[in-house]
Each structure stands twice: as C-alpha cells, then as structure tokens.
C-alpha cells in the first residue's frame, strides 16, 4: 500500500483534495477496440521476438513500488520508452480517471513482457476527474504525448479513446479475471499507437484533453539512464 495526496477536479471548477491509499496496480495490455488491429499488432511484435499474450486483453499486475508521481525516473538501460495511458482508480467512494505512462524496457520486452513492465517506474498524474463526468462523451477524450531526444521535442502519440476499449468494457474484463473488489486499485487502461515507432527519449510529456468540458490533465518526467548521471 502506498499513500498519495490526490486532487479531484470538479466540473464547477472547484477541487476536492484527499489522501488515498493505493493498494494494487494493474497494467492492461492489448486493449485496442478493433480486434483485427490488435492481432496485427501482436503479429508485428512477434516478428521482433515479443511472445503473444496468453489472453486478449492481457493483464500485468505490478508491485505498488513502481508507482510514482516524481518528475524524473531512473531506468537500467537506454532502450526504454513511455506510452500515455488512461488510468482509472476507485478511491473507495467513486471511480476516477487520470493519465499515466506505462514506461517499459523494450529490450527486455522481447524476453518477458511482465518483467519488461516491472523493470521501469510507472509515472502518473495525481489530479483526477470523476468518470461519471466524462463517461457520456468518453470517446471524445484525446490522449497525446511528446518525446524529447537528440532530434528535439515532437508529438509522439495522438488519438481519441475510440482506439481503446471503454471503461465499461474494462470493468467487464476485470471481473472475468476474477477481480470483484476493485476499491483502491489503480489500472493503466491501454495506450494509443505511436506516430513513428518506439523512441528512446530523455523526456516524456503526456496529456488527456476533454474538448467537451474544455480541460486537460498533463504530466511530464525526465528519463535518467543508470550510469549516465553526471559526476
């Protein structure tokens, strides 16, 4: 269990702040809504040595210690990358949504997906919206990310949530996996396609925007590779 101070942004412009105990962290994979594209993606990954998942979607439980709200993460190797995901959380009273980055070791991913996800911290934004405030226009929410590397800063991902299974489907899948008590559990709900393939950058910025209510949640972090720190 890890305790975080979170902020819930209300639709009237006010905020609710509270301390919450996050007990479990789950990362969902292969959450695409178009099953044909999901199979295409699995085939592409198989060509570079990534084993196909045992189930679609797939679920990768994580140690609570991987979760972080820090502005910098440290990773073991140079071939890691972030990916913006919608993140849902039940705080014991209500379902909430924010964003996070399923930062992953891409070299290790060819050997073991579970280990590749566990190898990197999982940054997330501690400001949330209530799902009941966005569920009616869920598909219009947009995920974006930007990466910075030696070539500079550029848009890395951009797509609305039509690319992914909706919240209601996520709950159904979790029940199929045997999760009946979801209180104080945080779920990374899947990512959208990259615009140019994996980029191993030094900085990752990510966002979810709501064009209907005219607001956004934003996060960013630096990526520090062990051994590359300045003396």
| pLDDT at residue 229 tops 70 | no
Angstrom distance (rounded) from CA 65 to CA 3: 11
Q: What percent of the chain has pLDDT over 90?
A: 77
Nearest residue to 222 via CA among 73, 115, 98, 97: 73
Which pLDDT score is estimated for 90? Answer: 95
For 116-143, write each residue's pLDDT tens digit: 999 999 999 999 999 999 999 999 999 9
Residue that the structure tokens 């990358």 belong to: 81
Q: How confident is residue 92, by pLDDT bands cut at 50, 70 and 90?
A: very high
| pLDDT at residue 231 tops 60 | no
Give the number of other CB atoms < 10 A from CB of residue 227. 8
Q: What percent of the chain has pLDDT over 70?
A: 98
**Which domains does the chain show, CATH number per domain?**
2-225 (3.90.850.10)
For 5-47, write each residue's pLDDT tens digit: 999 999 999 999 999 999 999 999 999 999 988 888 788 778 7
């Amino acid at each position: 269990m890890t305790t975080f101070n979170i902020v819930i942004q209300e639709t009237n412009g006010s905020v609710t702040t509270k301390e919450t105990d996050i007990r479990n962290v789950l990362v969902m994979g292969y959450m695409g809504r178009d099953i044909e594209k999901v199979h295409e993606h699995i085939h592409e990954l198989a060509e570079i040595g990534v084993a196909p998942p045992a189930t679609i979607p797939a679920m990768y439980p994580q140690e609570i210690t991987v979760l972080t709200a820090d502005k910098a993460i440290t990773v073991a190797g140079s071939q890691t990358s972030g990916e913006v995901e919608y993140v849902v959380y039940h705080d014991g009273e209500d379902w909430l949504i924010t964003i996070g980055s399923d930062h992953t070791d891409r070299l290790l991913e060819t050997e073991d997906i579970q280990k590749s996800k566990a190898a990197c911290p999982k940054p997330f934004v501690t400001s949330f919206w209530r799902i009941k405030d966005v569920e009616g226009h869920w598909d219009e929410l947009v995920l974006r990310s930007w990466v910075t590397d030696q070539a500079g800063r550029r848009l890395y991902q951009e797509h609305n949530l039509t690319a992914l299974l909706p919240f209601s489907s996520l709950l159904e899948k979790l029940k199929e996996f045997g999760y009946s008590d979801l209180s104080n559990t945080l779920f990374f709900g899947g990512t959208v396609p990259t615009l140019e393939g994996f980029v191993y950058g030094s900085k990752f910025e990510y966002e979810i925007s709501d064009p209907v209510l005219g607001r956004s949640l934003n996060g960013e972090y630096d990526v520090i590779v062990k051994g590359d720190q300045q003396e």
